[in-house]
Structures are given as structure tokens and as C-alpha cells.
Amino acid sequence: MQNRTHNCNELRITNVGEQVKICGWLENVRQVSKNLAFLVLRDYYGTTQVVVETEEIMEIIDSINCETTISVEGTVRERSSKNPNLPTGEIEVVPEKVEILGKCIYNELPFEINRSKEADENTRLKYRYLDLRNPVVKEKIILRSRVIAALRKAMTDEGFLEITTPILTCSSPEGARDYLVPSRNHPGKFYALPQAPQQFKQLLMTSGFDKYFQIAPCFRDEDARADRSPGEFYQLDMEMSFASQDDVFAVIEKVLPPVFSEYGTYNRASEAPFKRIPYKEAMEKYGSDKPDLRIDLTVTDVTDLIGDCGFEPFNNATVKAVVVDNFSETRKFIDKTVADVEVQTGQKTYWFKVDENGVIMGGIAKFLQEKADAIISTLNLKPNTFVAISAGEKLVAQKTAGVLVKTLGATVEGHMDKECYEFCWIVDFPMYEMGEESGKLEFCHNPFSMPQGGLDALLEAEKDINKALELNAYQYDLVCNGIELSSGAVRNHNPEIMVKAFEIVGLGEDDVKAKFPAMYNAFCYGAPPHAGIAPGVDRMIMILAAEDSIREIIPFPMNKSAQDIMMGAPSFVEDYQLRDVHIRIDAKEE
């Protein structure tokens, strides 16, 4: 502590006349004359102005660069020119002694500390220790700490026991690529970093623990996105024995809203119970299984209404419409919106307007004139209304319409309540789907989920592929403001049902035993019904902080290419290290 008496955000007008010692980084120097300068000293807590008035102290200040750490001993006095925007803006410290604690040897910094967010992202990440000195950046990490502490307390108060699960485990088909760790003592064998504690938490339920949680690190070798960090992430992992879907919902609906209300950029959050939307309804009404309920726009199927209007892209297609009333945007805006949606989806979109006189015009209006009255009546179109349209195979038309909803909702004034947190549950996900690449039946979500209807439903699905595709599971997603926070499920704890579920996708009992030996065997010793979920902590904090990039709320994130350019990871290792783990590199240079 260097025996400091106060931090740099602590001194007030009541401290005037006191002898103090403060320590921190020299943020700024404004020299007025040979023996007069104003310094800003910054530490973790804030800033304090220091006024140098002697040549002796000035010599010390002249010899150092900004961002040097120093200690200042002196007297607090009232400022003649106060700064009402600073907590310490009524006082200043007149130093009698300045000591250099840690010298910054560079005359120029990679970026100005207080404007680091304006720098190139790779530069920020390379000098992340400097970036984090920026109070705006640092506050996001402080927020992260407080939110995690609040989540941990809330889960403990709900009777959950915090248990840590292994980091070195076996490779498991979770859906993403594993990070593999070669074994020194077992040549040719590998550990894997867990993509999630999924199997371990289910095994804890079979072990007799009733309510488990942890702030769990997870590792997946997948590409970065704005809301996904490559490499590692954290989730609020939880599981409950003798629990149903409703039990899980009740816990989450009690734990999350207070955290969002207290720590969020906005102080309004959905109250329990959150809206529940079946998956099929979500795709039909919002064009997405991650709907943003802050937006009041929805999707309408107009295939029967205008599918036969003579416009070629509508022939033999599913046609969806998004109706936007009170529309006064320009043609330039419309063209940009259509172009943006095409970039995001790879699909063309179409449009028409109803003008102030109630006449259909613009876009594809010439194909709709014969049906104009029916269109206006059926869609209840008022003057000054814009209609955006997608067309194609059903799922393509739905997803394209979903992008239209989000794009128009965010850009057309009056259709989005931006200052709140809107939660919803997406429920009743399909158990199976046809694989786009394989053309065969595959699990849609989590293979460990309980099918609705149990074994009887699986026996029917086994007979008819259409019934298999209609079969739903007790799977659910938690969505907030259009971002998926979590997937969860009621687990399939019955070995007989588990084997049958895998048989339907072409995997037999031997495959289940080979891929999931511990869980299969544990379930054979009497497993309780159990259910769980795991909201992503990083995404949660990103939403709370109103940040567009998840890297802003992670202390030391990787860049978009999964590189830690500050530490130089991934890196080459020495030959002897490879020999120890029985590895030989045979990579061809690109």
C-alpha cells in the first residue's frame, strides 16, 4: 500500500489542511511556468489534482513520463477553480515530497489512455494492460466482478451448492471442436478441455446432490462473433434433481431480473413469469428463435394472399411480410435496408408502400394492383405504411423476415423500446431435424434431452420419419433482447429412453455406451429426474454494459482469430516439450 493515507478518489473539502499521501499513475501534466504545474494523479479509484509550486518538485516531474507511478506527500487545500464534474474537484494536493515508484520509460504510448477505445482493436489487445487503465474500460471489468458476485449470492440463497468440475476430461461430441491436451503418461491419448460441464453436472445429480451450480469455464474451438469469444467463456451452470422445466424457469426468473435491474445500463427488466413462445410460433411470428421483444414488429404469412400475383420470385415459394406503420423514411433508406438484409442473409427482399392516400405504390406494387383491396384489408394497412417481403423455402423466408424485423425495428423510429431488458423463453424445440449436409435424421439440439411423450413417443417416431420430425423435446432457450443467453433442458435420465433416442439417428446401445460410458452406467444405478440450464455470463454482462462486442467485458480476450497477441498465444514450443507428450509436428507450410 506504500503507506498511502487515501486513494485518489477519496479526498474532499472536509480534508482541507490535512497531511496526506496518495499514490498512482501520472496521467497528465500541464506546466504553466518554471515552478508551477498541475498534475492529474490516477489510481484504481479515481483522480486527484496535484499542484507543483517548487523548482525542486518540478525537476522530479520533468524527469519522468506520463504513466509513471509515483507517490505524493503533501497538504490538501481548497481549489480556487473547482471542477464540479469530479468527486475530488473541490480540492488539490500541494506536494512536499514526490517519490518515483515505477518509471514509464517510453516517451510515447501506443494510445492515449483515456481514449484507448478509439485505437485499433489489435493494438488495444496487445497493450491490454494499458487499455485497462482507461476508467471506461476498467468499469466493465468491475461490473463483471459485481455481477458474478451477485449471481453467486443469489444461487446460494436459493439453496444451490457451488461445486467445481474437472477441466481436464475426455473428448465428447458436444457439437463444437474440442481443445485437446496430449497426455505425457499415456502415449497417444489426449485429454480435452470441457465444452461445458454437461455430463459432470448430470453425474452430480445421480450422485445425490440436489441443487448444483458453478461459474463454469467452458472451452470451444470455434470462430469469434460479436457475441461469442473464441476459445473460452463462462456460464452460470446449474442443475436440479427431481425438477421440471417449470422449476428451472422459476429459479432463473427469480435470480436474473434483480441483477439486470441493479447492474444494467437500463433499470427495467421483465418480471416473472417471462413470456413463453413455442419454437414453431417464434419462427412464424418473429422469423427467429431469438426474438427481440423490444420490437413491436412481427411477421405475417402472405403466401395465400400474394403468392400467385405473377411476381416470379413468389412462384412455388413461401412468402412472408413485415408491416411497418407510421413510415416516413426515404427511398434511399429503403434501398440501404434491402441491401443490408441481403448482405446478412444472402437473400433478396422486396417491398411496397401505402401512400398517404391509401394507394399501393413503389417496389413490386405493379404486381399487386389487382389484389390491392384484399391486401389492404387483410393486412389492415393504413396510409403511410411500408411492407417488406421475403420469399423462398419456408425456413429461408422465415429467417429472412426475421432479419427484416430486427433491422427495421432498430432503424425506424417508434418501433423499439431500447431502454429495457425483455426476456422470453423459447420452448418446445424439435427433438430431431434433417441434417442439411447429411440428409439424414439428426438431433436438433441436445441429445440428452427428454422427448415429450417419453418412450411411447419415440416408438412412434421410430416408425415414421414425419412423426420423428414432429416430436418435440423438453428443451428451452433463454433469450434477452434478441440474444440467446442459454440453452437448457429436462434431461433424459432413463437408459432405455436414451438408447431409443439414439437408435432413431442410427446409433445403437453400444455406441451410447462407448460415447457416454460414465453417464449411461450411472443412470443404470437409479437416476433422479433432473433439469438444468447455463446462462452465458459473458453475454449477460455484454448486454448489461450495452456493449456491441463481447471482448469489451473480458479482462484479457483473444482477438477475432483466436490469438492472444499480448501473450503470444498460440505459440510454438520446444522439441523436448513435444517429445514429452509423444507429439511430432508434421504441418505443411501454407
Proportion of the chain above pLDDT 90, given as a percent: 88
Closest CA to 193 of 166, 211, 216: 166
Provide the H-helix boundaries in 127-197. 128-131, 135-157
Beta strands in 373-422 (DSSP E): 385-392
Rg (C-alpha) for the chain, rounded Å, is 30
Proportion of the chain above pLDDT 70, given as a percent: 98
Domain boundaries, the chain: 13-102, 295-416, 430-472+494-527
User: CB–CB of 496/455 below 8 Å?
Assistant: yes
Q: Which residues of 218-251 are buried (b: 16+ CB within 10 A; e: fewer)?
A: bbbeeebeebebbbebbbbbbbbbebebebbbbb
Closest CA to 349 of 304, 287, 305, 291: 287
Position 194 pLDDT exceeds 80: yes
pLDDT for res 174: 56
Look-up: residue for cell 423510429? 413
Q: What is the pLDDT of residues 352-408, one digit of tens each?
A: 999 999 999 999 999 999 999 999 999 999 999 999 999 999 999 999 999 999 999
* Single-letter code of the amino acid located at 416: M
C-alpha distances out from residue 363 to 312, 351, 354, 389, 403, Å: 14, 5, 11, 10, 19
User: What's the predicted TM-score (pTM) here?
Assistant: 0.91
* Spatial separation of the C-alpha atoms in residues 216 and 353, rounded to whole Å: 50
Q: What is the mean pLDDT of the chain?
A: 94
User: CB–CB of 319/378 below 8 Å?
Assistant: no
* Spatial separation of the C-alpha atoms in residues 23 and 585, rounded to whole Å: 50
Provide the H-helix boundaries in 195-330. 198-206, 245-263, 279-286, 303-306
DSSP-derived 3-state class of residue 429: coil
Q: What is the pLDDT of residues 129-163, one digit of tens each?
A: 999 999 999 999 999 999 999 999 999 999 999 99
Rounded average pLDDT over 95-105: 96
Q: Which fold has domain 13-102?
A: OB fold (Dihydrolipoamide Acetyltransferase, E2P) (2.40.50)
Pick 447 or 392 by higher pLDDT.
392
pLDDT for res 429: 95
Look-up: residue for cell 392516400? 357
C-alpha distances out from residue 427 to 157, 296, 475, 476, 490, Å: 27, 21, 6, 5, 11
Rounded average pLDDT over 453-464: 92
pLDDT for res 173: 64
pLDDT category at 2 given cuts 50, 70, 90 is low
pLDDT for res 589: 56
Rounded average pLDDT over 483-511: 93
pLDDT category at 440 given cuts 50, 70, 90 is confident
Q: What is the pLDDT of residues 294-352, one digit of tens each?
A: 999 999 999 999 999 999 999 999 999 999 999 999 999 999 999 999 999 999 999 99
Residue 49 bridge partners (DSSP): 40
Q: What is the pLDDT of residues 30-89, one digit of tens each?
A: 999 888 999 999 999 999 999 999 999 999 999 999 999 999 999 999 999 999 999 999
Q: What is the pLDDT of residues 540-552, one digit of tens each?
A: 999 999 998 999 9
Residue 211 bridge partners (DSSP): 240
Position 590 pLDDT exceeds 80: no
Closest CA to 405 of 310, 502, 285, 498: 285
Three-state SS letters, 511-546:
HHHHHCHHHHHHHCCCCCCEEEECCEHHHHHHHHCC
DSSP-derived 3-state class of residue 428: coil
Q: Which residues of 151-161 are buried (b: 16+ CB within 10 A; e: fewer)?
A: bbebbeeeebe
pLDDT for res 175: 66
User: CB–CB of 507/555 below 8 Å?
Assistant: no
* Spatial separation of the C-alpha atoms in residues 514 and 506, rounded to whole Å: 14
Lowest mean pLDDT among 218-232, 326-340, 449-463, 519-533: 218-232
User: CB–CB of 218/233 below 8 Å?
Assistant: yes
* Spatial separation of the C-alpha atoms in residues 214 and 115, rounded to whole Å: 36
Instruction: Give the CA angle between residues 453, 459, 465 to the nearest 5°.
Output: 100
**Pairing between β-strand 441-443 and β-strand 432-434 as defined by DSSP bridges:** antiparallel
Closest CA to 485 of 252, 146, 220, 230: 252
pLDDT for res 588: 66
What is the distance between the terminal CA atoms of the chain, rounded to a whole angstrom? 52
Cell of 535: 446462462
Lowest mean pLDDT among 111-120, 224-233, 344-353: 224-233
CATH of 295-416, one of 3.40.50.1820, 3.30.1360.30, 3.20.20.60, 3.90.740.10: 3.30.1360.30
